[in-house]
Structure 1
Amino acid sequence: MNKLQSDEALTRVALDASRRNIPIEIVPREKVNSLEEAAEALGIKSGQLLKSLVIKKSDDTFVFALIPGGRKLDWAKLRSQIGVNKLSLPPADVAWDVTHYESGTITPFGSHTVLPVFVDSSVFEEPEAEHIGLGSGDRGHGLLVKPRDFVSGFDATIADISTPA
């Protein structure tokens, strides 16, 4: 990703957060090689760093599923929650077309296509995290947001959609 793409991604994220009235913090970070390193760079625990997965429905529409680090998507639970029989993880180029973000940087903030958002309910187990970390659209930055602010700003659905990895 070149500097122009990086600046554009971060601008899209910041503008979308502002439009949704969601306070965020964009945090610069060095290149990371693991979930643990990414969480540490943001000053949070690995379970507070969420993967933003683009999920394709059988009708060729998409949703975001946000799953904490150390957990994996439970396909059956998500299918039941959405009310469909078939879901899939699209190839990286399709996820790019939907979000205009590279795999590993995807975030609902500033996504090219506005999608319904599902957040795993484990994010809200006690003690609830003060902040969760998300991709920022740019490999050199992460994003911090209060979980309840995120949910209300995106009108996200909180649902049991994961299992421990």
Structure 2
Amino acid sequence: MSELASGEGRGGGAGRKRFLADAAARGLAVDLVERQAAASLEEAAAILGIRPGDIVKSLVVKRKDGSFLFALVPGDRQISWPKLRQLVGVNKLSLPPADVALAATGYERGTITPLGSTTAWPVYADAAVAGRRISVGAGEHGYSAFVDADALVAALGAVVADITEPL
């Protein structure tokens, strides 16, 4: 196992270690890569040598009752609030401020992933992620993880549905 795959790279990386430990506990194969910072989704995709749609954003969504869920959204799409509200069975959902998302997951924006979250919130994955290899946040800035989307969805017990629309 490489230094990066073991979670022992630069700076200790507590979030990255949580991510890797949870993936391992679920039997999920992930390939962790170190990458330079990117100013945009398109730039991140170019750095990783993939299409923007192959980067899957893990968005933290707040329910009216104060609980949260994760929405896995391809980079070239956005949440369709009406579709997600209908699926979840609520009339109000929102994206919380960065500090609230950090408190809910233990991850900073740009690193968020359901894997290793400090609370195991329900996961809803857009159907467009299925059937391919994707890149997701790895719990620490400067890292991305590649994973089989179908294996990720299965490992997380995610609900798969049409929850997005084009940007």
TM score, norm. by length of structure 1: 0.92
CA distance in 2, matches of 1:39, 1:134: 11
**Distance in 2 (alpha carbons) for counterparts of 1:113 and 1:94:** 13
Asked if residue 139 in structure 1 is aligned to residue 145 in structure 2, the reply is no
* Partner residue, 1:158: 160
**How far does the alpha carbon of each residue in 1:79-130 deviate from its partner, in whole angstroms, 9 at most, with x for none?**
0000111111111111000111111111111111101111111123xxx42x
In structure 2, which of residues 48, 54, 59 is the aligned counterpart of residue 48 of structure 1?
Answer: 54
Q: Distance in 1 between matches of 2:142 and 2:110?
A: 11
Is 1:14 matched with 2:20?
Answer: yes
Taking the TM superposition and a 5 Å limit, the aligned residue runs for 1:72-87 are 72-87=78-93
Give the TM-score of the pair, scaled to structure 2.
0.91
* Count of residue correspondences: 158
The match for 1:3 is 11
- Matched AA of 1:160: D
Tell me how far apart the structure 2 counterparts of residues 67 and 90 of structure 1 sit (CA, whole Å): 16
Question: Which residue, out of 140, 147, 150, partners 1:148?
Answer: 150
Q: Distance in 1 between matches of 2:47 and 2:27?
A: 25
Q: Is the 8 A contact 1:119 1:159 kept in 2?
A: yes
Which structure is richer in relative contact order (CA contacts within 8 A, separation 6 or more)? 1
Counterpart of 1:60 (choices 49, 59, 66) is 66
Give the percent of matched residue pairs that are identical in Structure 1 and Structure 2: 46
For 1:30 and 1:83, locate their aligned partners in 2 and report how far apart those are by CA, in whole Å: 40
Match for residue 103 of structure 1?
109
Q: Matches of 1:41 and 1:13 in 2, distance apart?
A: 22
Gaps of 5+ in 2: 1-9
Secondary structure in 2 matching 1:3: coil
The AA in structure 1 aligned to 2:148 is: K
